[in-house]
Structures are given as structure tokens and as C-alpha cells.
Amino acid sequence: MVKEKDRSNVIRAAELFWEAIPPIWYILRSQLYKTAREEFDITGGQFHVLQRIKNGDTSVSELADAHHISRPVVSRKLDNLVEKGLVSRKESPQDRRFTVLELTPEGEKILEVLSTTKRKWLEEPLGSLTDQELETVIEGFSTLMKISN
């Protein structure tokens, strides 16, 4: 239980979170999706599928669970990514009924470019902060990571 005198800080922190994070996230996500669409002809959803595969979700079931969507919807997204040469499907050596998903070199390249792009979008505004402000931001994000795990 939060002490009464500390409660106002908790409330203020929650309010500032909702004032700052969603608008920043919305802007960055919109830019990322626009770049993915215009430069690589992939949708935001397809980008997320590529990212999940890179992070270890290598089956349709894992992707469907991660995105909270049905297997047929994931399969359609995968079909498109396979057609574009960004993902490959391989039969599992342990169980031929199981298909393992892997990024192709082209899929890896797209994720690398988009990751660099999204990092650079934040470098400019963050670069305008003083060293002290940057340390505060880093400490704040590190602290937020604690509540997200």
C-alpha cells in the first residue's frame, strides 16, 4: 500500500505517463508503418510478424498467440511475406507436421533498416537534451522497464 503522502506522486507519475508515452508511441508507430509501406511494401502487421519471428516466435501458433489473432489471419500474412521473399517456411526435422518460420536475408535486411530508422527518429529530439536530462530519461526508462516485467 502506498503511503498517503506518496500517493500524490504516484498519481502524478501515472498522469504524466499517459500524457507523454501514448502520443510519442502513436507518432513513431505511424512513421514506422508509413516507412515500411512506402519503402518495403509491407504493412504494420507484417512488420510485427517479421519482428516476432526475429525474436523467436517461429510457428504460426506462437505468432497467433503473440498477436491475439487467429491462425488463418497469421497464415495469410505469412503467405504474403513468403511471396515477397522475406520469410521462409521449413519443415521441422523433429516433426514433419510442424513448420518452422525463418527470416530470409532480405527480411533481416528490412528489419535492420527499420530498426535503424526508428532509433534515428528518437536520436534527434533526444540529442537536444542536456547530459543531465538524458541521464534522467535513461533512469526513467530503466525504472519503467521494472514495472513492465
Would you write out the chain's pLDDT as a tens digit for each of its 149 residues?
555 657 888 899 899 999 999 998 999 899 999 999 999 999 988 998 999 999 988 788 888 888 888 888 888 889 999 999 999 988 877 777 778 899 999 999 999 999 998 899 889 889 999 999 999 999 999 998 898 87
Segment 1-12, tens digit of pLDDT: 555 657 888 899
What are the C-alpha distances in Å from 28 to residues 22, 23, 68, 115?
10, 9, 22, 12
92's enclosing H/E stretch is none
Q: How far apart are CA 62 and CA 96, in angstroms?
A: 17
Q: How far apart are CA 2 and CA 114, in angstroms?
A: 41
Q: How many CA atoms lie within 13 A of 49 on its CB side?
A: 29
Looking at domain 4-122, its CATH architecture is Orthogonal Bundle (1.10)
Percent of the chain with pLDDT over 90: 50
Strand locations in the chain (E): 87-91, 99-103
Cell 491462425 sits on residue = 71
